[in-house]
Chains A and B, each alone.
Chain A
Amino acid sequence: MLQSRSHFSLWVVLLVAFGSLACDEKLSDLAGPSPNLQPTFASVQHEIFEARDASGRAACTECHTDVGGRTPSGGLNLRHEVAYASLVGIASRNKAGAVRVIAGDADNSYIVHKLEGRPGIVGERMPRTGGPYLTEGQMTILKRWIATGANND
């Protein structure tokens, strides 16, 4: 025997309450010292490559740039206008066989190896100031941009 009719309003209230809950975690909490970081190239460029974050981590463009006639460190130029073309599908100049960013494959992208300081990298972990390094949360967001196709978005 169905007994639900008298309690129908209770369930409606519950469902409405559920629908109004903001259940998801905040990306800004994960991003930590760069709270505006998003898994898009424009955001990665602005928040990671070009900006010193709240933890004091150095901006990548402090070395990887040709501004002022300088030679980009490691041959990687992260100046705004050329950064994407320098990264995605481009072979590393220092490590044979490694590709800086492999669209859709964060785990095998050399930029991830360098930023995490994995065994087998050539040279130092980045940034080579000896830290602070990118946090685990920042790396997660960067890797998500790569895993979803490393689009120029």
Chain B
Amino acid sequence: MTVRRLLAAAALCAAVLWVTPAHAQQATPAAPTVPERDPDQNLDALQPDFTLSSLPTTLRLPRYRFDFRVTHRFGRPLNQGDFGDLLADFFALDSSAQIGLELRFGFMRGTQGGIYRTNDRTIEFFVEHNLLQQSDTSPIGLSALAAIDGTNNFKDSYSPVLGAIVSRKVTRLGALYVEPIWVNNSNQLPSEIVDDNDSFLLGLGGRFRLRRTVYVVVEAAPRVAGYDPDTTRWTVGLEKLVGGHLFQINVSNGVGTTISQLARGGSADDTFLGFNITRKFWR
């Protein structure tokens, strides 16, 4: 009998010990854990995308989130033939295009990287780290950029890129960009037979807000030193922001869209129609 009582007491103690924590939790319920929203997920109305047209911006990609971009640059020059010819080709949409697909991922807070492939078989890998965000204490945003592209599916002619992206958002107007960028091996001939094998370009651009979700984008990439064939590459575009999508139609003087392709310049005579579509997978 004594043994039974001891066993019963032990069982009761065990039951009390087992139940007490749960009871205690019920008695003092913890505050509901609401996941903290990453501020990088908020829409930046003055800087709604990671690129202007081809030049990068300082927009941060939220950690562990994706962004996808598709680019088209139609190969038929808009100024070829008369307007009837252009209409017959439906404003160059009938022509072949240089198409690019990009997947971008935020793999750390403030750090994003990705891969971009164009159908001339150029593959570009890039990483961008945001060093400074514009705030009350900082008049500018600043990011560092590193990239490398290679032709023939990244088997030939590699062109590394290092640069800085400086942005300045202007209240209600939009954002301005200055981007000093160095491109190695911009000249695709062996260094033994060329004078310059590097280009130093100064990306200049802006995104200007016309309406709440409509923007005008301009960018140019003048080469200030080194290899500088043809003429300065430029693009002008019109954008519409719709939820997680950004649609851009643009006109430029070249079809290349990687940084090293910008360093190789644009046409002095021809202009080309193109478009970009980006999708952010968190809105």
Contact yes or no, B130 A21, CB < 8 A: no
Contact yes or no, A1 B192, CB < 8 A: no
> Chain A's nearest CB lies how many Å from the CB of B195?
9
Q: Which of A25-33, A64-72, A79-87, A117-125 contacts B (4 or more CB under 8 A)?
A: A25-33
Q: Judge whether B94 is part of the interface by a CB distance below 8 angstroms.
A: no
Q: Assess A23 versus B160: contact at CB under 8 Å? Given A1-B133, A7-B129, A18-B148.
A: yes
Main secondary structure on chain B at its contact with chain A?
A: strand
Number of A-B contacts (CB under 8 A): 70
Residues of A close to B184: CB separation below 8 A: 23
Contact yes or no, A14 B127, CB < 8 A: yes
Contact yes or no, B132 A144, CB < 8 A: no
Residues of A close to B47: CB separation below 8 A: none
Q: How many B residues touch A, CB cutoff 8 Å?
A: 31
**Residues of chain A at the chain B interface (Cβ within 8 Å):** 1-4, 7, 10-11, 14-15, 18, 21-27, 29-30, 38-39, 140-141, 144
Q: Judge whether B103 is part of the interface by a CB distance below 8 angstroms.
A: no
Contact yes or no, B189 A140, CB < 8 A: yes
Residues of A close to B146: CB separation below 8 A: 11, 14-15, 18
Q: Assess A4 versus B158: contact at CB under 8 Å? Given A24-B191, A27-B192, A27-B193.
A: no
> Chain B's nearest CB lies how many Å from the CB of A3?
5
Residues of B close to A18: CB separation below 8 A: 146, 148, 160, 162
Q: Find residues 139-185 in chain B having any chain A CB closer than 8 Å to their own CB.
A: 144, 146, 148, 156-160, 162, 184-185
Interchain Cβ contacts under 8 Å between A and B, 5 examples:
A4-B144, A18-B148, A25-B190, A26-B190, A27-B192
Contact yes or no, B193 A7, CB < 8 A: no
Contact yes or no, A30 B132, CB < 8 A: no
